[in-house]
């Protein structure tokens, strides 16, 4: 049963009535706790047309399930993932204003002019304007971050991009980005999952939570032990859920944390989005935090 909706306006999402799904709001932007990632759609490092049909089917399943946040990058299938995402959105006939699209500029394209070239190419492949959120995909050794943000800030001023963020940045790099960005850094997209808590240990998660920066957890379920961990299975049984869903729920029950799982399977896609409705108790969260301790 749909009991509400999220509608995108120029400044971000505005919420109407009661939302059927958990959301996070920072800097007047509201995003669903669970979105949809696009790595491996249309290929890996290079385009693979043999995957197009299954990739489009997965995107349509996500759209039909109610997904509004899609995450992609210029490097995914060398831009082909962006093309497929844009095509699926056009075919769905869902209004662009109802969706939030994130894409990323690669670290080798952070020189001033290269940032503009990359953004223009992404806009062309997506066939949409503007990009809602534009991220620096990875930090690189010797990168000129001030020069990159000089270009990124201009993209925002020119209306090509609405919001800026980073990905895989450590605490020092994140703080530097905040100083250089003319608009608030919306997110730091990092690998965060059970049992990998490296970004907890390096201070990034806590800093984001205390400074209104979303943590976008990618590859949120990556360990084979997820299926067999006894604690995870017990919590899953208590909620009539799968261990996979509880691993996602562990993420989205944390403040300022959203995630972008990906699947080609329509049933798994729906299960992923349904995980946003699972409310874990403090005791369950604590048990899961300790689940892989020896």
Question: For residue 246, what pLDDT is reported?
Answer: 96
Question: For residue 227, what pLDDT is reported?
Answer: 74
Token pair of 230, please?
Answer: 């006894």
Token pair of 152, please?
Answer: 């990124």
Question: For residue 293, what pLDDT is reported?
Answer: 83
Strands 100-105 and 69-71: parallel
Residue 235 parent element (H or E):
helix 230-238
Instruction: Give the 3-state DSSP-derived string for 139-180, with helices as H, strands as E and coil as C.
Output: CCCCCCHHHHHHHHHHHHHCCCEEEEEEECCCHHHHHHHHHH
Question: For residue 21, what pLDDT is reported?
Answer: 56
Q: Where are the chain's structural domains?
A: 4-289
pTM of the model: 0.91
Residue 4 parent element (H or E):
strand 4-9
Beta bridge partners of 216: 189, 258
Question: For residue 281, what pLDDT is reported?
Answer: 96
Q: Which residues are catalytic?
A: 76
Q: What angle do CA 98, 102, 105 make, to 5 degrees?
A: 155
CATH number for 4-289 (one of 2.40.10.10, 3.20.20.100, 3.40.30.10, 3.40.50.800): it is 3.20.20.100
Ranges in the chain, pLDDT < 50 = 1-20
């Amino acid at each position: 049963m749909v009991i509400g909706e999220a509608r995108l306006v120029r400044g971000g999402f505005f919420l109407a009535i009661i939302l059927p799904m958990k959301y996070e709001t920072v800097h007047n932007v509201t995003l669903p706790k669970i979105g949809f990632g696009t790595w491996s759609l249309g290929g890996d490092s290079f385009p693979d047309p043999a995957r197009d049909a299954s990739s489009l089917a997965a995107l349509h399943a996500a759209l039909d399930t109610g997904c509004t946040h899609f995450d992609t990058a210029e490097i995914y299938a060398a831009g082909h993932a962006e093309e497929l995402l844009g095509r699926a959105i056009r075919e769905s006939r869902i209004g662009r204003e109802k969706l939030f699209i994130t894409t990323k500029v690669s670290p080798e394209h952070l020189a001033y002019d290269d940032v503009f070239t990359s953004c223009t190419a992404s806009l062309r492949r997506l066939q949409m304007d503007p990009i809602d959120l534009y991220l620096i995909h990875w930090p690189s050794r010797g990168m000129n971050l001030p020069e990159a943000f000089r270009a990124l800030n201009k993209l925002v001023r020119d209306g090509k991009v609405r919001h800026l963020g980073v990905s895989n940045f450590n605490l020092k790099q994140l703080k530097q980005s905040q100083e250089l960005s003319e608009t608030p850094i919306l997110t730091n997209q990092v690998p965060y999952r059970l049992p990998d808590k490296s970004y907890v240990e390096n201070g990034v998660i806590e800093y984001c939570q205390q400074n209104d920066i979303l943590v976008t957890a990618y590859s949120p379920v990556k360990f084979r032990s997820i299926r067999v961990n006894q604690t995870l299975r017990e919590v899953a049984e208590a909620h009539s859920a799968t261990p996979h869903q509880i691993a996602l729920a562990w993420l989205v029950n944390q403040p300022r944390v959203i995630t972008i799982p990906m699947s080609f399977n329509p049933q798994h896609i729906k299960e992923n989005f349904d995980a946003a409705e699972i409310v874990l108790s403090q005791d369950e969260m604590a048990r899961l935090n300790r689940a892989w301790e020896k």
